[in-house]
Structure 1
Amino acid sequence: MTTLRILAEVTGGRISQGHDDVAVTSAAIGSSDVAEGGLFCAVPGLHAHGAQYAASSKAAAVLTDPAGEEILQAQASDIPRLIVDDVRAWMGPVAAEIYGYPARKLSIIGITGTSGKTTTSYLVEKALLAKHSVGIIGTTGTRINGRPIPTQLTTPEAPTMQSLLATMVDEGVTHVVMEVSSHALELGRVRGIDFDVAAFTNLSQDHLDFHPTMEDYFQAKSRLFTGADSSSLFNDAPSGSADTDLAVGANEPEGAARDPHARATSAVPAAVICVDDEWGQRMAALAARRHGPSGGAVAPVLAVRTTGTAKEPADPFSAQTAQAEAQPIPTWTLDDVHVTASGRQEIRFNTGTDQELEYSIGLAGSFNVANSAVALACVAQLGEDVEAAAQHLRDVQVPGRMQAVDEGQDFLAMVDYAHKPGAVAAVVRTLADYLPSPTGRIGIVIGAGGNRDQDKRPKMGYQAALVADAVFVTDDNPRDEDPRPIREAIVQGAEAGFAERGVEKMAVTLANIADRAEAIEAAVQWAQTGDAIVVAGKGHETGQLVAGVVHEFDDAQRLRAAIKSVLAGRKQQINTGNQGGM
C-alpha cells in the first residue's frame, strides 16, 4: 500500500496536515480519469491549473505545486495533498512507486528521433516476438503481443505510462518497445523508467513550435542517452562534462530528496545511434562520454552507418567527437543494398566481426535500411541472436509508412506519414527509385498541420518540388488555424523548388486544393501508366482535425476509393469509345 508519507519520501514534498497515512492505489493526470482511491496529478495548464478541478474528481489525494496549493486553500478544500515544486518532474517517480516499479521487471527499448521511430519500433517488436512476450507503445497506439490498446499520445503521460507497464507485467510481457518523443522527454513522461537500450534514428526540422531551436530539440532528445529521465534522478554528472545542462539531475527541483528506490547504477542505457548525420555523430559522442570505458560483452554505444563515411562535425560538435575518437565506437557499416524486381531490399552490413549480417525487408526506401539496422542493433544490445532475429523482418509492414495501395492500376500509389521537410525529401526520392517505368513521373499530395511549426511549411513544399513532377497542396489537420495561409506557404515553397530545378511551369503541376479527398482524386486522375504518387502527411491516422472537430478521414481508404473510381471511369471511356467505333 502506497501512502502519502512514502510518496513524500520519494519526492521530498510536503503533505497537508494530518494526511500522512492516506493511501493511493492509482494515478492520473486528468481529473475525469482519476479512479476511486487514486492520486490526481494537478499540473498547471495553458488556460487553467489542474487543481481547480480536484474537487470534481474521485481522487483520494492530489499531487500539486505551490500554485495549486493556493487554489485548494482558496476553495477551502480538505482533500489530502502532496505539494512539490514541479509536478511534472515527479509524476513519473510517484506513479512508478504506486504501481510497484513495473519498468524494473521489464527489458525496455526506447527509440527517439525525428523520423523512423514507428517503423523501427515495429521492426524491433517483430524481431523479439519469436522468443519473447512483447509490448509496444507508440504513435499507432499500444499493443500487447499484437493486441491493440487505445492510447492518445506517441508517449503517454507518466501516470498512464506506468499503468500500462504494470498491465504488461501482469500479462506476462517481458520486453517493451517504446517510441520516446522529444515532448515526452521535455515534459518528464518517461521519468521513473530505466531503459535497457536507447536508440536514435535521426534529427531534422520538426516541432520548432515547441522547441525554440534545433539545439534545444537535440538537447531534449539527448536526455534519453544520459539517464536524465530514468528513475535514478540524482546521479552526479561526470567530471569535466562539457554538456552540464545534460547532467543527470540538472533540471530537477532544487532541494528535492534523493529517490530512495533508485537503482544504484547510473541507469544510462546501452545506446544504438544512427550516425548518418552530424546530429547522430554528436549524439554518439555524448553517449560514449556518459558511459566511459567499457569492457563488457555488449558495447555501451553501438553506431549504425548507411551513408558514406563519418564527417567531422562543425563546432560545437568537434570537441565531443574528439573525445569519442579516443575510444572508438563499434559501428555497423552498410556494405550493399540490392532492390529486387518485386521491390524487396536485400541488405548486407559489416558488423565489425568476422561474419557479415545479411537480411531482407519488404519496406521501401533507404531510410528503412537505416531503420532496420537500428532495430537489429537494439536486439544485439539486448544480447539476442541477431542473425535469427533478422529473418523475422522479411514481411514487416507498418500502417501508413510507405504503404502501397493496389487496386490493379498501372501506376504506383502509396500513403506515408511524412509531415516534415526531411521526411518529404526522403519519400519523393524513394518514389524516384521505385518508379514502375523509366519515363514515369512523380506526384505528391501534401499538407501541413495547424498550430504547429510554421517555418517547416514552405520547406516541405520546396523539398517536394525538388523531385516531384506534380505537387497537390491540400489541408492536413488545420486544427484551429485558417488553412489557407498554411497551403499558401507550402505553395510558395513548391514554386521555389520548381524554380531551383529550372523547370518550365507548363512542364509541372502545382495545385492548391483545400478538400483533401478532392486533392487525392486529382492526383489519381493525373497519374498515368508508369507513374508514382504518394499521399503524404497523415499516414495511419483515421481522422482530420478541423476547428476542434475530428472528421473521419483515412488516407489509404480515400486513395483506394479514388483509384477504383478513376479506373472505373477510364474503363467506361474505353468501352464508350469502342462502341462508338462499331
Structure 2
Amino acid sequence: MKKLNELFTTENEMAVYSIHSDSRYVLPHSIFFCIEGLTVDGHQYVEDAIFQGAKCIVHSRELDNYHPKIQYIKVSNTLNELNRVADLFYDSPSSKMKVIGVTGTSGKTVVASFIHQVLNEYCKAGYIGTLSLMYNNAQIETPYTTPETVFLQKHLFQMAKSDVKVVALEASSYGLALGRIDGVDFDIAVVTNIGDEHLEFHGTKEQYVACKQKLFEKVGPNQYAVINNDDHFARKMKEVTKAKCISYGMNEKSDIMATDVLLSLEETIFNLYIGDQINRIRTPLLGIHNVYNLLAVAATLKAVGSDNEMICQSLQKNFQVQGRYEPYTSYYGAKVIVDYCHTLQNYKDIFQFVDKTKNPSARVFVVLGLPSKREIRNREKIGELANYYVDHVIITRSDERGESLQAIGAMIQKPIVDIPSIIIEDRQIAIEQALQLASKDDIVMVLGKGHEDFMALETGKVAYLGDGTIVENIIKYEGELENELQWND
C-alpha cells in the first residue's frame, strides 16, 4: 500500500492498494491509468474503472465526466507515468536484483532460459519470457513474452521479496516499442541477432533496429552489453550504449569465440576461446544457431563475474528448453525434432541442419503449420525451403485466428512441386501420420508450436496437448503395440 502523495505531487493522502491499466481488473481504492494502446484507448474505460472501485484516474486527454469524489491527475504521457509510478509502488524491485535483458529476433528464449538455469545453481535466479515466469520452483503463465508494466513490476517485487538475486528477462521488440520495460533497471543487455521479422509492426528494418537499441541505451558505463559480432545489425547496439561491451562470434574477431564446430543429430562439439584460453565443448544442443546461443550465454556469464572453468562446465550441461530443437527417437528408430520455429530464418536453419547431418539414405518428413494473419509474406518462402530440403510435407493447424487452413495451406503448397505434400486438419493426426511413415534413420521435424499448449483462434484460445507430448504418446503407443503383437505371436 502507498499513499497517493507518495506517488504524485499532491496533498491527497488517499491510500492506494493497487494500480491498473486494464479496467477489467481494477480493484477498490486503486489508480487507473488511461493508456492509449495500439487498438484500445484507456480513456474510453474510465467509467468502468470507477465502477470497479478506482479512486484516482491518470489521464492525458480531457474526459467527458468528472466525479467529485474521484481524484483526477492529468499528465502529458500516461505510459511514462505508469512506468514511473509502478516502479515506485513496488519499491523499485529491479534495483534490488541483477537484471539481464535478452533481445534479438530469435534465440531470446533459449539464451534467457539457459542463463536462468545456470545461475539458479549458484543463487536464487528468475526467468521472465515466452515460456512463463519462473522462480523458487514456481511457474506462472505470462500473457506476453515481455509482460506489460504492472504485471512485470508486481512479479519483480515478488521475486525481490523472495530473495531472488538475478533475473533473465526476454525483451521483445513489441515490449520495447510499447514501453513495457521503461521502468526496469538493467545490469546487462544481450543481443542474439537481428533478422527481418516483425516488420509488419515496426514498418522498416531501421525502426526495428532502433527499437532493439532502446535496451542498450538503458545500460550505463559500469554495466555490460553482450554483442553478437557476426551480425551486422546486432553490432549496431554498440553505437548507442555506454556500457562495457563483451563480443562473441565465430567469424569476426571477438572476446569469446567458437571454432572447429562439429554438428550431428546427437550432439555438437566446438572449440571455445575465452581470451587466450581454449576449451573443447561438447553439448547435447543441436545446430549452429545453438552454438551462437551458447556463446551469448558464455559472454553473459563472463559479465556477471564467472570464471572460465565455471563457464565451460555450464555450457556442457544437459539443459534443454522445451520445444526448442527438442530431440526424440521413435520406437522404430526415426529421429524426431520438435521446434517452435517462428521465423523464416528458423525454418532455414533447421532444414539446413538436418540436410547436413542426416544419413544420405534417410528420408526427411516435416509437419508444419503457419499462424494466420501473421508473416503472410513468408508462407511461399517456407514452401520453397521445404520443396528444396525435405522429402514429404504435411501441413496442419497452427493458430488459425479465423483464417481457413485450406487458404493457408494453399499458399505454402504453391511452390512445393517436386515432393509430395498434403493438408491434414487435425495436428495430432498429422504428427501420427509422419511418425508412421518414417523408418529407422529417417527424420521427422514437427515445427511451429514448440512448447505451446494452446491453439489461438480468432477470439480466445483452445487447449492443445502439445507437440512434444503427442510425440511421446505416439512413441509409447508404438512400443505397446509392438509388444502386444509379439505377445500374441
Once the two structures are superposed, the pairs formed by residues 479-498 of structure 1 within 5 Å of their partners are 479-492=401-414, 494-495=415-416
**Which of 195, 205, 217 in structure 2 is aligned with 1:204?**
195
CA shift digits 1:490-549 (9 cap, x unpaired): 222x42xx6xxxxxx3xx222222322222122223312211111111110101122324
- Structure 2 residue 443 is matched with structure 1 residue 532: yes
- Structure 2 residue 169 is matched with structure 1 residue 183: no
CA contact (8 A) 1:333 1:350 kept: yes
- Which residue of structure 1 aligns with residue 289 of structure 2? 367
- Structure 2 residue 479 is matched with structure 1 residue 556: no
CA contact (8 A) 1:26 1:95 kept: no
* Residues 408 and 201 of structure 1, relative CA distance in 2, 3 Å threshold: same
CA shift digits 1:344-400 (9 cap, x unpaired): 32332223x232244332211111111011011111112222421431341101111
* Residues 359 and 458 of structure 1, relative CA distance in 2, 3 Å threshold: same
| Partner SS, residue 334 of structure 1 | strand
Amino acid at match of 2:237: M
* Residues 27 and 451 of structure 1, relative CA distance in 2, 3 Å threshold: farther
- Structure 2 residue 99 is matched with structure 1 residue 108: yes
Distance in 2, Cα, partners of 1:132 & 1:200: 24
Aligned length: 484
* Residues 47 and 338 of structure 1, relative CA distance in 2, 3 Å threshold: closer
CA shift digits 1:18-57 (9 cap, x unpaired): x733332432322233344332223235255343421232
TM norm structure 2: 0.91
- Which residue of structure 2 aligns with residue 255 of structure 1? none
CA shift digits 1:206-247 (9 cap, x unpaired): 2233221222222211111112xx8xxxxxxxxxxxxxxxxx
**Which of 25, 44, 53 in structure 1 is aligned with 2:48?**
53
- Which residue of structure 1 aligns with residue 151 of structure 2? 160
Once the two structures are superposed, the pairs formed by residues 329-368 of structure 1 within 5 Å of their partners are 330-339=254-263, 343-351=266-274, 353-368=275-290
Distance in 2, Cα, partners of 1:204 & 1:462: 19
- Which residue of structure 1 aligns with residue 19 of structure 2? 27
Amino acid at match of 2:467: D
TM norm structure 1: 0.77
- Which residue of structure 1 aligns with residue 7 of structure 2? 7
Shift of 1:564: 4.6
CA contact (8 A) 1:420 1:460 kept: no
CA shift digits 1:429-448 (9 cap, x unpaired): 2223443x331122211121
| Partner SS, residue 423 of structure 1 | helix
Distance in 2, Cα, partners of 1:371 & 1:41: 38
| Partner SS, residue 90 of structure 1 | helix
Distance in 2, Cα, partners of 1:185 & 1:269: 19
CA contact (8 A) 1:2 1:97 kept: no
Amino acid at match of 1:555: D
Distance in 2, Cα, partners of 1:28 & 1:466: 51
Shift of 1:574: 9.2
Distance in 2, Cα, partners of 1:267 & 1:38: 38
**Which of 421, 424, 431 in structure 2 is aligned with 1:513?**
424
Distance in 2, Cα, partners of 1:347 & 1:81: 61
- Structure 2 residue 292 is matched with structure 1 residue 377: no
* Residues 226 and 112 of structure 1, relative CA distance in 2, 3 Å threshold: same
Amino acid at match of 1:414: I
Amino acid at match of 2:364: I
* Residues 146 and 118 of structure 1, relative CA distance in 2, 3 Å threshold: farther
**Which of 371, 377, 381 in structure 2 is aligned with 1:459?**
381
Once the two structures are superposed, the pairs formed by residues 207-286 of structure 1 within 5 Å of their partners are 207-227=198-218, 266=220, 269-284=223-238, 286=239
Shift of 1:72: 4.3
CA shift digits 1:96-118 (9 cap, x unpaired): 01111111111000001111111
Supply the RMSD in Å over aligned alpha carbons: 2.7
| Partner SS, residue 356 of structure 1 | strand
* Larger mean Cα displacement after TM superposition, 271-280 or 155-164: 271-280
CA shift digits 1:44-102 (9 cap, x unpaired): 35255343421232333233321xx41443xx474223222222233222100111111
Identify unmatched segments of 5+ residues in structure 2: none
Shift of 1:198: 0.5
CA contact (8 A) 1:28 1:40 kept: yes
* Larger mean Cα displacement after TM superposition, 563-572 or 451-460: 563-572
- Which residue of structure 1 aligns with residue 32 of structure 2? 40
- Which residue of structure 2 aligns with residue 302 of structure 1? 246
Amino acid at match of 1:528: S
Distance in 2, Cα, partners of 1:423 & 1:550: 25
Shift of 1:268: 8.4
Shift of 1:267: 7.3
CA contact (8 A) 1:194 1:269 kept: no
Shift of 1:469: 1.7
Distance in 2, Cα, partners of 1:513 & 1:413: 19
CA contact (8 A) 2:263 2:287 kept: no
Identity of aligned residues (%): 28
* Residues 47 and 467 of structure 1, relative CA distance in 2, 3 Å threshold: same
CA contact (8 A) 2:323 2:451 kept: yes
- Which residue of structure 2 aligns with residue 235 of structure 1? none
* Residues 347 and 81 of structure 1, relative CA distance in 2, 3 Å threshold: farther
**Which of 389, 404, 422 in structure 1 is aligned with 2:327?**
404
Distance in 1, Cα, partners of 2:422 & 2:326: 24
* Residues 571 and 440 of structure 1, relative CA distance in 2, 3 Å threshold: farther
* Residues 92 and 361 of structure 1, relative CA distance in 2, 3 Å threshold: farther
CA shift digits 1:417-475 (9 cap, x unpaired): 0021001111222223443x331122211121123232222223233333222221222
* Residues 407 and 510 of structure 1, relative CA distance in 2, 3 Å threshold: closer
CA contact (8 A) 2:34 2:41 kept: no
Shift of 1:121: 1.0
Amino acid at match of 2:272: F
CA contact (8 A) 1:406 1:560 kept: no
Identify unmatched segments of 5+ residues in structure 1: 10-14, 231-265, 292-298, 311-329, 499-504
Distance in 2, Cα, partners of 1:279 & 1:423: 18
Distance in 2, Cα, partners of 1:210 & 1:149: 27
CA contact (8 A) 2:330 2:435 kept: no
- Which residue of structure 2 aligns with residue 439 of structure 1? 361
